[in-house]
Amino acid sequence: MRIVFIGPPGSGKGTQAQRLSDHFGIAHLSTGEMLRDAQAAGSELGQRAAQYVDAGRLVPDDIVLAVVVQRLLGPDCAAGCLFDGFPRTVPQAKALDKLLAERGMALDLVIALEVPENQLKQRLLSRGRRDDNEATIKERFRHHRKLTEPLIDYYRGRGILREINGEGTPSEVFERVKQAVQSAVV
Ligand code: AMP
């Protein structure tokens, strides 16, 4: 089972992907987390990524793809994987299609979480992550609208998109996510 989570910053995609990963016992691949880990480890790749993350911009595709490929080849991804925050651009989605096709793997489902923008900002400011400040949040929304939203049409055209209302408690949203997965995969 391979599932992509798409959603604006603060939509809860990390929380929902983690819950789904625990529920089904499949790997959770968060590019944001991997980039933060790379930065904390002080690697060259992490340092290159940090300047973009801290400015609320998208990290260039070559850096993101390098971390994804390493992880996809890992044994824990063989049985399935939840992609959280990746792909975030149409070129990344095309690169993922290619990576999966080369390995004889398919994408089963794309979940797009929908939450009104005024609620997102509140959620982000209460989270308090290093890149959760007013200026960065504004930039991240802008890049999301311009670069990530076109992915919705890309996947809709493939018939694997499910748009889910991301409002409510994490448990309420998780019930909707689980239903979408069950109806797509069974
Ligand atoms: P996230 O943890 O998904 O909110 O991601 C935090 C930050 O990491 C984003 O604001 C981007 O700067 C960077 N990032 C994460 N995933 C990607 C991606 N697929 N493409 C480009 N930048 C990314």
**Structural domain range at position 83:** 2-29+79-185
Return the best residue to mutate from 4, 29, 48, 58 for the ligand 1 pocket (most ligand atoms within 8 A of CB).
58
If you measure from the C-alpha of residue 186 to the centroid of ligand 1, how many angstroms do you get, rounded to a whole number? 31
Query: Residue 47: inside a domain, yes or no?
Result: no
* Closest of 160, 175, 15, 140 to residue 84, by C-alpha: 15
- Percent residues over pLDDT 90 in the chain: 87
Question: Does the Cβ of 17 fall within 6 Å of ligand 1?
Answer: no
Question: Does the Cβ of 58 fall within 6 Å of ligand 1?
Answer: yes
Question: Does the Cβ of 64 fall within 6 Å of ligand 1?
Answer: yes
pLDDT on residue 186: 62
Q: How many structural domains compose the chain?
A: 1
Query: Residue 151: inside a domain, yes or no?
Result: yes
Answer with the residue of higher pLDDT: 14 or 79.
14
If you measure from the C-alpha of residue 182 to the centroid of ligand 1, how many angstroms do you get, rounded to a whole number? 28
pLDDT on residue 164: 97
User: CA 185 to CA 182: how far, in whole Å?
Assistant: 5
Query: Residue 130: inside a domain, yes or no?
Result: yes
Dihedral sign for Cα 4, 65, 148, 84, please. Answer: positive
pLDDT on residue 78: 86
Query: Residue 97: inside a domain, yes or no?
Result: yes
Q: How sure is the predictor about 43, in pLDDT bands with cuts at 50, 70 and 90?
A: very high
Query: Residue 44: inside a domain, yes or no?
Result: no
Write out the catalytic residue numbers: 13, 88, 127, 129, 140
Q: How sure is the predictor about 92, in pLDDT bands with cuts at 50, 70 and 90?
A: very high
| Range of lowest pLDDT (33-42, 72-81, 105-114) | 72-81
User: CA 88 to CA 95: how far, in whole Å?
Assistant: 11
Query: Which value, in Å, is the radius of gyration of the alpha carbons in the chain?
Result: 16
User: CA 161 to CA 180: how far, in whole Å?
Assistant: 10
User: Is the CB of residue 55 less than 8 Å from the CB of residue 138?
Assistant: no
Q: What CATH code is carried by the domain that includes residue 91? A: 3.40.50.300
**Segment 138-173, tens digit of pLDDT:** 999 999 999 999 999 999 999 999 999 999 999 999
Query: Residue 36: inside a domain, yes or no?
Result: no
Contacts of 22 (CB under 8 A, 6+ apart): none
CA–CA distances in Å: residue 37 to residues 53, 145, 154 = 12, 26, 30
- Percent residues over pLDDT 70 in the chain: 99
Other CB atoms within 10 A of residue 6 CB: 27
Question: Does the Cβ of 29 fall within 6 Å of ligand 1?
Answer: no
Query: Residue 52: inside a domain, yes or no?
Result: no
Given the CA of residue 31, which atom of ligand 1 is nearest to it?
16
Query: Residue 17: inside a domain, yes or no?
Result: yes
